Chains A and B, each alone.
Chain A
Amino acid sequence: MSESLIAITMPKWGLAMKEGAILQWLKNEGDEVKKGEILVEIETDKVVNEMESPEDGRLLKKCVETDIRVPVGSLIAVYGNENISDEDIEKFISEFKENFVVEDDESGSEKDKYEKITLGEIEINFSKIGEEKEKNILFIHGFGGDLNNWMFNQEDLSKDYNTFAIDLPGHGQSSKNVTDGSLKNMAKIVNDFCAQNNITKVKLVGHSYGAGIAIQTASDFKDLIESLTLISPIGLGNEIDSSYLENFITAESRRDLKPVLEKLYNNSDIITRDMVNEVLNYKRIDGVESSLKNMKDEIVKSDLQNNDLKDILNLLDIPVSIVWGKDDNIIPSNHSEKLNEKILVEVIESCGHMAHTEHASKVNEVIKKTN
């Protein structure tokens, strides 16, 4: 009987996540739930976000109360068809619990979950999830971000791909000594990174400035790149909210930084004090400010975009997809218009500059489709 039951478990969003708590159920027991519909709202140490239903099915039983923290992988709900008896459900739950082992992660340090490689003067921090798969994905975050921006994407896609996410120089836990923020220079770093990791073919996924780097990499190292998925990329039009970049660099307090980060999202409620603090902590590391300034100077000039990548992109002979939040406040989504018609464009409603976090499963679908 229990084969017809489906276990819904606490997701793992990012390498550091160990446990989460359900803040709110958006479905009731008995509801039919479609894959991709919002099932619950989950709070981790770092974020509050909505969890989409991973499967179609009927929500038979909620297994966790709200506001209680449970380890990643814990059973939070059971799906199945309406004919299943309460006894069988209970049996399923107790069997799950008997077999459930909390991921032994007491090695403690976050350091152990990341790897570092040295490319000349710089050290690049990255995470690798998924092994022995046929294909590779490399995620490149945007200005001021880090590899954790892909927490809703990397884990999910690692079921089908070897996934790599890097901290760009000047970001995350990579060296903070960027003197040359040019796309050319960054593209070379991406290429060197792949070479050192024996990656000969890779699907690049880039966001914003990282998407610009992805385009440049595809142009400069044609044999390496299999496809591109670009989220709100730079370089496809003139307009950009340069005050975002400026204020991101200069904000010194939570009060100053919060409204800056809120610009990134359509639903700005997502910005918690913890998220603002994490960005502030990052910005306060020696070398970050000057690195960010150097990158900003590469991205904007006189309040307009400094790079025109449209021609390069149109000429690429690989599959390319573009995802853009319709309500992107940083780079307008109409930059996705009038491109080579082979390029797949997906503009998402009620979505800002961070489509990969705000509408993660849609973005993940696009990445998979970009072949």
Chain B
Amino acid sequence: MSIKSYKDAINEALLQEMKKDENVVIMGEDVAGGAGTNGEQDAWGGVLGVTKGLLGHYGRERVIDTPITETAILGMASGAALTGLRPVAELMFVDFMGVCFDQILNQTAKFRYMFGGKAVTPVTIRTMYGGGLRAASQHSQCLYPMFTHVPGIKVVVPSCAYDAKGLLIQSIRDDDPVIYMEHKNLYDVTQEVPDESYTIPFGEANFTREGKDITFIGMGQTVGICNKVADKLKSEGKSATVLDLRTLSPLDEDSVLEAAEETGRVVIVDESYPRCNIATDLSALICQESFSSLKAPIKMVTPPHTPVPFSPPLEDLYLPSEEKVYNAAKEIL
């Protein structure tokens, strides 16, 4: 055990899995950096340094800097997975999915089904998502609902350093294609993380708080917001359950319903666009399966249906915040 950041936890997971299995290779734009230059090799280690240092251990044969060519990166990763490697491809920002979605939507996610259950495609696509860095409309989106919509791929959204490591190792070892989404605001969040390799199974949501009065459901970055609001309510004498979904596909429906039924009051906090997102999906699930246990309408805290704004005050208004979540809770408590 030692204190590690979310970023370090991801790096350590890659380092350990590359050591354990020589079929694990990583590829993407500037995952090492400095390829073909006269300057420093491993110049970047990923745009925010998440893969820094791997080049020194495993060389350019296994830490593959690619051109800026997202379709080829994802296609290459899934083709390599189909033929015996266990690649981890990096799509620098999930927003860039716009130029390469076919590789997931029509290719990787469907191989197994279209080929009658014979394909095994153990590819992991790491990608960065989410707002808060003043990165504007094309570098801040929270697009996980696009992937939960597609059968055949698993969608993983770690909320903390412990989960980041265990879920990434699980993603790499998993024989199905996985998109592993890293919220850029979480990279420096720290936590006790085991030094050994460990896994967290998919489809197991995590209760980060337990209470009797209200239930918050979050994913990725919004879990931290939910935890803070739960702690604030506790000081006011109200106890809250917080459920971290951890993976959005598969979805731990049992825990969602259990968490909702425990208190009968539910606030779902989702940073993705509000139409057909995770919050609406969970809301429908709870209404369909646990309607009689509800004591108040389900509240959804999401951004408005607009692109992510650039200007700092606008982006702050756009994103779910502790204040918005607290206010939503107060409306139904």
Contacts and interface: CB of A to CB of B under 8 A. Distances in A.
Interface of A: 67, 108-111, 173, 176, 252-255, 272-274, 277, 281, 284-287
A259 to B, nearest CB: 16
Q: Is the interface of A mostly helix, strand, loop or mixed?
A: loop
Contacts of B199: 284
A132 to B, nearest CB: 28
B198 A286 contact: yes
A253 B2 CA distance: 25
Contacts of A281: 162, 166, 194, 198
A285 B1 contact: no
Interface in B168-202: 192, 194, 196-201
B107 interface: no
Contacts of A108: 3
Contacts of B141: none
Contacts of A176: 196
8 nearest interchain CB pairs? A285-B198, A286-B197, A284-B198, A109-B3, A285-B196, A111-B2, A284-B199, A110-B1
A67 B239 contact: yes
Contacts of B2: 109, 111
B322 interface: no
B207 A273 contact: yes
B39 interface: no
Contacts of A173: 1, 194
A108 B254 CA distance: 35
Given A173-B194, A281-B194, A281-B198, 11 more contacts: A108-B3, A110-B192, A111-B1, A111-B3, A173-B1, A253-B201, A274-B207, A274-B210, A284-B201, A286-B196, A286-B198
Contacts of B197: 285-286
Contacts of B239: 67
B253 interface: no
Contacts of B194: 173, 281, 285
A320 B206 CA distance: 44
A110 B1 CA distance: 7
A254 B204 contact: yes
Nearest to B255: A254
Contact of B206 (A110, A277, A285): A277
Contacts of A110: 1, 192
Contacts of B275: none
Nearest to B170: A284
Of the listed residues A67, A252, A286, the one surrounded by the most CB atoms of chain B closer than 10 A to its CB is A286
Contacts of A109: 1-3, 192
Contacts of B192: 109-110
B98 interface: no
A155 to B, nearest CB: 20
B117 interface: no
Contacts of B3: 108-109, 111
A112 to B, nearest CB: 9
A325 to B, nearest CB: 27
16 contacts: A67-B234, A109-B1, A109-B2, A110-B1, A111-B2, A173-B1, A173-B194, A252-B201, A253-B201, A253-B204, A255-B254, A281-B162, A281-B198, A284-B198, A285-B198, A286-B197
Contacts of A286: 196-198
A226 B1 CA distance: 33
Nearest to A108: B3
Contacts of B254: 255
A97 B269 CA distance: 40
Nearest to A272: B210
B237 interface: yes
A284 B1 contact: no
A242 B161 CA distance: 36
Interface string B195-239: 011111100101100100000000000000000000000100101
A285 B196 CA distance: 7
A107 to B, nearest CB: 10
Contacts of A252: 201
Contacts of B210: 272-274
A75 B99 CA distance: 62
A285 B193 CA distance: 11
B207 to A, nearest CB: 5
A285 B254 CA distance: 25
A285 B166 CA distance: 9
Nearest to B204: A253
A62 B254 CA distance: 41
A284 B204 contact: no
A300 B245 CA distance: 38
Contacts of B237: 67
